[in-house]
Structures are given as structure tokens and as C-alpha cells.
Structure 1
């Protein structure tokens, strides 16, 4: 499973390397130069197809929904980290973890410093691995758990989409865009909510099991 995540991450990095060399040789800048013809639609479909690939592998890697979801979390995190490692190897980019990047294009550009998706990926790998590698534990996820985690995810996504909207009309290289455009506090609030709730829920479940 992990090998698959690495392979898809490298595939993603290779495709983006071709796109940047061909269409953005001077680096990314807003407003983004339009891709020719229907290439933007092709790129959007490719992004969606990458998620489908990860979901399909996760479907095969688990025996029930929660285990499959945990596998998807691990795969997504590995995919994203390998993607940035691949870009660093092929393009010597990003220059630092503070470099801003376009993270997704669906439905509008998500923008954030590279450390932001990397932090999310580490959290996904950690949480997903814990669930996937401890099948002997009874991981009961309540409706409230889903609501809190989904809300945390939406806060994180909202921070990235807000940053994309804030600098979309600028005419400076993305690498030079003001870091203040990214709502750091908003992002960390979402990530800490998601991670904190997960850790608290698992600790509470472990305590209940020990007492029973």
C-alpha cells in the first residue's frame, strides 16, 4: 500500500514538472497564465483521477469502511509528501517550506505555504496508521466524531481557499506573494481541532477498555 502511495506521488511530481517547465518556466505567478486549449480541464480531471486511484487502493487494502478510510488517510499523506520530495529532486523546488504553492485547483485554487499540506499529511499518516495498524482495538467512531473532524477539515480547506482568493488578483510571483495572505491561525485552529479531538477520543477509548 505504501509503495503505491509513493508511486502515485512520484507520478504526480513528474506531471507537474512537465507542466511547470513547459508553461511556467519563470515560476508560478498570479494571475495564472491560462493553459492552452482544453488542457486545464485535462489537468482538473487528472487531479480527480489521482484521488480516485488512492481511494481504489484504499478500498482494496481494508476489510471494512473505517479500515479503508484509514488506509486512504495514509495513502493521501504519503502521496503528498512524495510529491513535494519529487519536485525538490526534479526542479530544486520549493526553496523552503515557507514557499507558497497552489495545492489544488478544484473548485478554486487552494494556496498555502508548503509546510501546511505537509503538516496535514503527517497528521493523516499518523492517525490513519494508528487505526489501520491496531485492528485489535475497537475504534468506534460516533456521529459527533465525524462532525468534528469534518468541521476541522473544512476550516483547513477554507484557510487555503481564502489565501488563494486573496492573492489571485495579484501580479507577483507566487513565491514572492506576501505570507500574510495565508491565515495561519485559522489553519492551525482547524488542524489542532482535528488532531486534538482524535487523540482525546482514542485516549478515552483506551481508558474505557482498560477499566472494562
Structure 2
């Protein structure tokens, strides 16, 4: 987008894209539920891979294509690598929240935020209650918008090795909470109790790192040497 475009306009366009993308994905899932005869959107136990035929690789390809679309928006809108990552986080989060909202409207699923869902298949099944990816997505949207706004306004956002370590560790713990039941789910069983403590620890680590970065960041571009901010 043009360099002079206001941040609010850019954010509105990006969020609008994510909501439209969410509708498209929810519509596809609604079609699949009808075609496969899934009663009430039932997911578990998973159908055997042989019974799914060619649908399984198609689904994996769809997930990969979705990630490419999200990354593309970040790269197109962001002026720097950090801003591109921030916008990618905004698109991912808004798309994920919008997906559940649209799916609820189109098919009545999920019946509650506690309903277990199959989140991803790459590289193994990710399983968790609906509220957990929604919480992650809300955090991604909030942090992504703050970082993108600060970077675009010329402020400094510095990530130290400590921030990277805490953020990556937190993210891995969240992913671990989704994949601990992968073996059971692949074997045709229902997912067990969700490991909430693992998820909460991961979120606290990641959000703590993000908060530390934003507190340390400069909201305004640094003043030239030899001048004061008031000049």
C-alpha cells in the first residue's frame, strides 16, 4: 500500500481480508460436513486414512495454501520484516476467530467453546478445545496490531535473545498442548483431557515476552542528534 495510507485504513483492509478469507474457509468446511455426512459436525474419532481416500492430501494442501495466503498479506503490507510478521499475525488471528464465528452461523458448529476441534494436520493432528485457538488468535491480533502500528510510525521495537527464547518456548508449549494426544487420535480414539496447564504456561511465556518488548520499545522515532524532542 502507499506509504501515506493511514494505519487505520490499512488495518481495516487487512482485517476485512481476514474476515472474508474466514468465510470462504467456513463455507468449504460446511460443504465438506454435508458431503461426508458428519452429523452435527462430529470430528472424532477420525475416519481411517483409507476411508478418506484422496481427501486427506487435499486437506493438508488446503492448510498449506492457507498459510501461504496469510504470509503473502504480511509480506505485501509490511515495510520491514518485523512489520510483515506482525501483519501476518493479525491476519492469522482474525482469520481463525472469524472462521469459528462464520462456521457457527453456517452450520451451528461448534456448539460451545469447549468443543474439541482438529486444528491442523501438519505434521501431526493438532487437537484442542475451540477456546484455546481463539485465545491464541486474540493475542496475535492484539500484539500484531500494536507492533505494526509502532513500527509504521517509526518507533523502535527491539527483540533480544531473551525475548526470542521466551517467545519460541511459549509457542512450542502451546503446540505441545495440541499435539500430546496425536497418537491416540491417529489410532482412532477420542482426544483425552486437554492439558490446560501446559497451554497456560506457554501463553504466559509468550505474552510476557511480547509485553516486555512493547514496554521497552520507543513509541516515537528517535530525535536527531543535537536536537530535542520539542524542536
Q: TM-score, normalised by structure 1?
A: 0.88
In the TM superposition, residue 206 of structure 1 has moved relative to its aligned partner by 5.2
Are 2:46 and 1:28 equivalent residues in the alignment?
A: no
CA contact (8 A) 1:88 1:94 kept: yes
In the TM superposition, residue 81 of structure 1 has moved relative to its aligned partner by 0.4
Q: Which residue of 2 aligns with 1:79?
A: 95
* Root-mean-square deviation over aligned CA pairs: 2.0
CA contact (8 A) 2:104 2:110 kept: yes
In the TM superposition, residue 143 of structure 1 has moved relative to its aligned partner by 2.9
Alignment of structure 1 residues 1-40 onto 2, 5 Å: 1-26=14-39, 27-34=42-49, 36-40=52-56
Q: When the two structures are aligned, how many residues end up with a matched partner?
A: 203
Are 2:69 and 1:56 equivalent residues in the alignment?
A: no
Q: What is the distance in 2 between the residues matched to 1:5 and 1:113? A: 22
Change in 2 beyond 3 A, CA 1:116/1:86 = same
Per-residue CA distance 1:155-180 (angstroms, 9 max, x = gap)? 100110113334443555xxxx55x2
In the TM superposition, residue 142 of structure 1 has moved relative to its aligned partner by 2.2
Change in 2 beyond 3 A, CA 1:171/1:24 = farther
Larger Rg: 2
By relative contact order (CA 8 Å, sep 6+), the higher-ranking structure is: 1
Q: Which residue of 2 aligns with 1:199?
A: 211
**Which runs of 5 or more residues in structure 2 are unaligned?**
1-13, 223-228
Q: What is the distance in 2 between the residues matched to 1:167 and 1:107? A: 14
Instruction: Describe the SS at the equivalent of 1:102.
Output: strand
Q: What is the distance in 2 between the residues matched to 1:144 and 1:60? A: 29
**Which runs of 5 or more residues in structure 1 are unaligned?**
none
Richer in helix (by share): 1
Q: Which residue of 2 aligns with 1:94?
A: 110
In the TM superposition, residue 204 of structure 1 has moved relative to its aligned partner by 3.3
Per-residue CA distance 1:109-165 (angstroms, 9 max, x = gap)? 100000000000001001101001122320012233222211111110011011333
Instruction: Describe the SS at the equivalent of 2:72.
Output: helix
**Runs of 4+ residues deviating >4 angstroms:** none
Instruction: Describe the SS at the equivalent of 2:168.
Output: helix
Q: TM-score, normalised by structure 2?
A: 0.81
